[in-house]
């Protein structure tokens, strides 16, 4: 009889578990669909994370320099517990505020051409009552470098506090993302921007498996990520897939943004790596086979001084597909997505961007003018243009200055200083102040309010819709305030047209 009990009890337990389908606490870390299976891990007691999930085929060999190709279904379970590598980075080794004072925040997950992945932070399954709004983050980096940094863009705090889903993406940058090769015949010059679109499409198609609602998606980014977000709103104005845009320090004004002039830069690099040819297609095929590090070394070690002052750059160039020659004309024709937008900038943008970097800092008058030209006026122009088109628009100006984020007194509210506040990651460089914690929670609440209801969320949060003639400019972090104040744009936009 004792022998029978030993056998029967386990069988009974197996039978009951099949009937009642009870789950272990970690069952929600395995997500399976008809297209893929991924094993995630815990970011905290209440947040799951799925890292390094591919959204496109590796852009290698024949696919190098070409538009991304949809990721094919795979049977084996992907270990999604660690960040995938960042796309190959452009780095001259020049010092900056980041490298000198925040080295821990730099890319740490390695680099590879096989980099078209995304990362997902989502609540534990028992916290998801209905499908959640999704916020898709495009990292910045001047389209030359950048990616899903394990530290800067950690979505854990945001998800814990706001019960949304955060997705961050990698996309190709520098020559690999913006080749402008003659063989492309003026099309698909900006494959890095096409990567971003494919990532959004992947999220739209698959985020339901992680508890997200594909009809409640917001695209947001900062610097080149902010510009990319705005570029996206023009390129896919008739089919944006997202319900709103948050454009941080990167709005498209009236300035044509071109780093790559024609196809000569690509041909120069091709010549240096032994791929020079009068046949543009032969040149292209050779470059697709060339060693990636050798290509990047030519680019990184190039000296304009030694080449008659001629620059060598690879960034967004006009292809009339993703980057357009006349933004004003596009707006006048209504060729911009009719989706709500939140647009803004920091108060001293160019302080952290000025080159060369010195401890003494640059001339603040020059910084003010550069900040106005590159960031402040484009934000004003883009916001006003959307209002004229009847698009719901909000605009902010960020002033926050905190000890653990401001190692030099002249930095002020510099370019990217709001990112740790939005993501709730500012304590990576030292203890947060009480004001810093309060402002972070407030700004997270505002960003989430917009994502949850782009049309009404910010009004319910107490923010007025943008009006160039009213007290509608949202002032954040001014004089240590942990909530918003409101000012007249005319006080800040002098000199903008």
Report which secondary-structure segment, H or E, holds 214.
strand 212-222
Write out the two tokens for 129. Answer: 């009552």
C-alpha to C-alpha distance for 404 and 391, rounded to whole angstroms: 38
Residue 415 among the catalytic residues: yes
Contact indicator for 397, 371 with CB cutoff of 8 Å: no
DSSP secondary structure letters along 162-205 = H--EEEEE----HHHH----GGGTTSS--HHHHHHHHHHHHHHH
Out of 105, 148, 415, 426, which one is annotated catalytic? Answer: 415
Those residues with Cβ within 8 angstroms of residue 306's Cβ, 6 or more apart along the chain or in another chain: none
What is the CB neighbour count within 10 angstroms for residue 183? Answer: 17
**Residues recorded for the chain:** 497
Out of 160, 283, 349, 376, which one is annotated catalytic? Answer: 349
Out of 223, 260, 317, 440, which one is annotated catalytic? Answer: 223
Segments of 422-484 assigned E as strands: 473-476
C-alpha to C-alpha distance for 222 and 424, rounded to whole angstroms: 15
C-alpha to C-alpha distance for 306 and 258, rounded to whole angstroms: 23
Residue 189 among the catalytic residues: no
C-alpha to C-alpha distance for 373 and 367, rounded to whole angstroms: 10
Those residues with Cβ within 8 angstroms of residue 82's Cβ, 6 or more apart along the chain or in another chain: 51, 52, 109
Residue 349 among the catalytic residues: yes
Write out the two tokens for 2. Answer: 């004792």
Angle (CA) 462 463 466, round 5°: 155
Strand bridging mode 132-138 / 47-54: unpaired
Q: Bridge partners of 476?
A: 398
**Catalytically active residues, by annotation:** 223, 349, 415
């Amino acid at each position: 009889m004792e022998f029978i009990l030993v056998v029967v009890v386990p069988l009974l337990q197996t039978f009951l578990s099949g009937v009642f389908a009870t789950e272990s606490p970690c069952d929600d870390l395995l997500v399976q669909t008809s297209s893929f299976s991924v094993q995630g891990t815990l970011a905290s007691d209440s947040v799951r994370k799925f890292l390094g999930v591919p959204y496109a085929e590796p852009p290698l060999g024949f696919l190098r320099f070409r538009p991304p190709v949809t990721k094919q279904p795979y049977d084996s379970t992907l270990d999604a517990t660690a960040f995938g590598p960042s796309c190959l980075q452009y780095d001259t080794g020049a010092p900056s505020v980041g490298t000198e004072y925040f080295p821990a925040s730099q890319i740490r997950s390695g680099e590879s051409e096989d980099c078209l992945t995304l990362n997902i932070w989502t609540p534990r399954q028992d916290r998801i009552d209905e499908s959640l709004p999704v916020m898709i983050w495009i990292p910045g980096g001047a389209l030359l470098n950048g990616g899903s940094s394990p530290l800067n863009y950690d979505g854990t705090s945001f998800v814990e506090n706001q019960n949304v889903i955060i997705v961050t993406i990698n996309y190709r940058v520098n020559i690999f993302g913006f080749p402008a090769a003659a063989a492309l015949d003026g099309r698909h010059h900006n494959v890095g921007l096409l990567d971003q679109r494919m990532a959004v499409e992947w999220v739209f198609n698959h985020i339901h498996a992680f508890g997200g609602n594909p009809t409640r998606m917001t695209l947001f980014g900062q610097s080149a990520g902010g510009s990319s977000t705005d570029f996206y709103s023009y390129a896919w104005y008739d089919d944006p897939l997202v319900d709103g845009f948050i454009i941080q320090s990167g709005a498209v004004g009236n300035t044509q943004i071109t780093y790559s002039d024609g196809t000569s830069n690509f041909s120069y690099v091709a010549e240096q790596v032994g791929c020079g040819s009068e046949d543009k297609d032969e040149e292209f095929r050779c470059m697709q086979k060339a060693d990636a590090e050798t290509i990047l070394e030519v680019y990184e070690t190039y000296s304009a001084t030694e080449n008659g002052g001629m620059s060598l750059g690879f960034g967004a160039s006009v292809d009339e597909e993703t980057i357009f020659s006349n933004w004003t004309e596009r707006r006048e024709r209504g060729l911009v997505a009719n989706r709500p937008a939140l647009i803004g900038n920091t108060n001293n943008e160019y302080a952290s961007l000025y080159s060369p970097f010195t401890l003494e800092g640059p001339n603040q008058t020059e910084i003010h003018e550069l900040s106005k030209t590159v960031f402040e006026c484009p934000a004003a122009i883009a916001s006003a243009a959307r209002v004229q088109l009847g698009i719901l628009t909000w605009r902010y100006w960020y002033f926050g200055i905190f000890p653990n984020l401001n190692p030099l007194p002249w930095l002020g509210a510099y370019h990217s200083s709001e990112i740790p506040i939005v993501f709730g990651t500012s304590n990576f460089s030292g203890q947060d102040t009480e004001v810093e914690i309060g402002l972070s929670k407030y700004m997270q609440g505002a960003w989430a309010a917009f994502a949850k209801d782009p049309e009404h969320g910010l009004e319910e949060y107490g923010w007025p819709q943008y009006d160039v003639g009213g007290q509608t400019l949202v002032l954040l972090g001014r004089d240590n305030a942990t909530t918003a104040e409101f000012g007249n744009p005319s006080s800040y936009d002098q000199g903008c047209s």
